[in-house]
Chain A
Amino acid sequence: MNPTLVGVIGIVVLILVFFTRMPVAYVMTMVGYVGFSYLVSGAAGLKLLSRDFYEVYSSYGLTIIPMFVFMGQLAFNAGISRRLYDSAYHFVGSYRGGLATATVCACTAFGAVSGSSPATAATMATVGLPEMKRYKYAPELSSGSVASGGGLGMLMPPSVVLIVYGILTEQSIGALFVAGILPAIFITFLFAVAIFVYCWKYPLQGPAGDKFTWGEKFRSLSKIGETLVVFLLVMGGLFTGIFTPTEAGGVGSAAVLLVALLRKQLSWKGFVKSINETLRTSCMVLLLIAGATVFGHFLAISRIPFNVASWVAELNMPAFAIVLMIMLVYLIGGCFIDALALIMLTIPIFYPIILNLGYDPIWFGIIIVLVTQMGVITPPVGINVYVVAGIAKDIRLETIFKGVLPFLIALIIGTIFLIAVPQITLWLPRLMY
């Protein structure tokens, strides 16, 4: 059989087996192994398994993932996300819909290191939803802001999705990190506008909260000072070249741990919980990478990436239309699969096309993160919405989907703008690299 045909069959089988809810990483390994064995030989397939897994697990470049995840988990268990939320509330809580805005801002500020957007939505749902309920926010707005805000952490550095994209495409992780900052702030701003317009039209959705004096506002900032210091230490050290990305994660974790211990914010139980969560998230991410590596070797041998790239080149379509088609694949795919798995699966196929078309790889990385974030909140199957529905048992699924709509509109407008004006994304990385 023609290798490309085998590759196509492999992809179809892969998608079918996905729907049995077998972990995505296992499916990629299995289909990749069977396909590779079929195209090369049974012995070569078996060898591929042990070599690929050991290589991924022992790669120094990938040690950055457990380090940054650990930093995020320590920060979360030391209550930093709660304090960020509190501080954001002091500043915007007195406006209509202010708590929803505070949720979105806290999501961005926390820069969610959890590795997966659904996990971030889950984190913010446990922190933000009870607060918003207390202030009589309608479930649409409160659950919608949590489900949508969860995705913002993927853009704000340090973002695990961007780390993985950087490793897969051999782009500078530092450059990707800085590239994410302005789009993240821009989207946060658009979300705030969406909340403002929504609450202006439906005032009962988000009633105004307590008013604070400027003194109280600034005092609340002092509680999050250490977050800023750790962020500056990690990012500063990374950009000035004092340490590598992995070292930045290690030093960041140690710094958060030190601050939390000095301020007596982290219990032994919290510390152990951070370790367990880190093990689980890192393993989830790394097993996905290992599975994608095995599957990628199968795809390479089937010559699909090469054939698709040359087929697209012969299409004679304007570059912009091709990018839009790729975006559509991410949008639809993002509805079903976690952003990280989707990116790992599709990068070997789409990345060469984007390079051929002359687009900037850093810009493309930011855009696909944005588009997959749209997917995770789009009806009927947005994964983040299901996560929030799982935590907030008293809120109906349809209510959350309704609540997500204003954010989805803001996200679409923002993404179109960022596609049309790549300078917003590329200005900071070009300035620094």
Chain B
Amino acid sequence: MEAINRLIYKLVDWVKNLGGVALVGMMTITTLDVTTRYFGHPIFGAVELVSFMATILLACAMPMTHVENGHVGVDLVVRLLSKRSQALIDTFTGFLSLILFSLICWQCVLYGQSMQKTGEVSMSLEFPSYIFVYVVAVAFGVLGLAIIPQLTRNLRTTFGKK
């Protein structure tokens, strides 16, 4: 199990690095576009490029944000409970999250397939948009995987011996 967990975290890390590259790319393209536009030669399709990179950035940041507890939650009540009750609640919500993200991953794959079939491309660069829908699908898949180590840990706390 430990080996699988390590592999999952490695995957989360790898996906995060891709997001980081997209972030620096967004900043660079935006700045270059503003500068070159000043001299009358803007970068063609800069807005589209930045949107594509933002999609990669946001999708790829999801697993890492989940693992590092970066999301806003309300733990006023749960905090007052015993460790075991806390783990029970976390197990339950973990399962719900896993189902939710598996559904979104599956739906994004279907959405990407339908876009691929109709041959949808972006307006100026004519780049196939479905690729980015697949990126979002993969990211949700990794997010689902990233929930598993937490889930097994909570299950162990809930049902393990004191």
Interface residues of A (CB under 8 A from B): 17-26, 29-30, 33, 46-47, 49-51, 53-54, 57-60, 62-63, 66-67, 70, 116, 242-243, 246-247, 249-251, 253-254, 257, 272, 275-276, 278-284, 286-288, 336-338, 340-341, 381
Q: Is B155's CB within 8 Å of the partner chain A? A: no
Number of residues in B with C-beta < 8 Å to the partner?
Answer: 58
Q: Which residues B129-153 have CB closer than 8 A to chain A?
A: 129, 132-133, 136, 140
Which chain B residues border A33 with CB–CB below 8 Å? 100, 103
A19-B78, A21-B74, A50-B111 known; A287 and B51 CB under 8 Å? no
Interface of A is mostly: helix
Give the docked Cα–Cα distance between A62 and B79 (Å): 34
Of B57, B65, B108, which one neighbours A50 at CB under 8 angstroms? B108
Chain A residue with Cβ nearest B20: A275
Chain A residue with Cβ nearest B66: A23
Interface residues of B (CB under 8 A from A): 16, 19-20, 23-24, 26-31, 33-34, 38, 47, 50-52, 54-55, 57-62, 64-66, 68, 70-79, 89-90, 92-93, 96-97, 100, 103-104, 107-108, 110-111, 129, 132-133, 136, 140
Give the docked Cα–Cα distance between A340 and B60 (Å): 22
Of B19, B28, B29, B55, which one neighbours A279 at CB under 8 angstroms? B19
Q: A279-B19, A341-B72 are in contact. List 11 more A-B contacts (CB 8 A).
A: A21-B77, A50-B111, A50-B133, A54-B132, A54-B136, A242-B38, A250-B30, A272-B20, A280-B64, A282-B58, A381-B76
Give the docked Cα–Cα distance between A17 and B70 (Å): 18
Which chain B residues border A59 with CB–CB below 8 Å? 51, 54
Q: Are B31 and A254 in contact (CB under 8 A)?
A: yes
Give the docked Cα–Cα distance between A18 and B29 (Å): 39
Q: Are B74 and A284 in contact (CB under 8 A)?
A: no
Would you give the shortest CB distance from B142 to chain A, in whole angstroms?
A: 13
Which chain B residues border A18 with CB–CB below 8 Å? 73-74
Would you give the shortest CB distance from B44 to chain A, in whole angstroms?
A: 15
Q: Are A287 and B62 in contact (CB under 8 A)?
A: yes
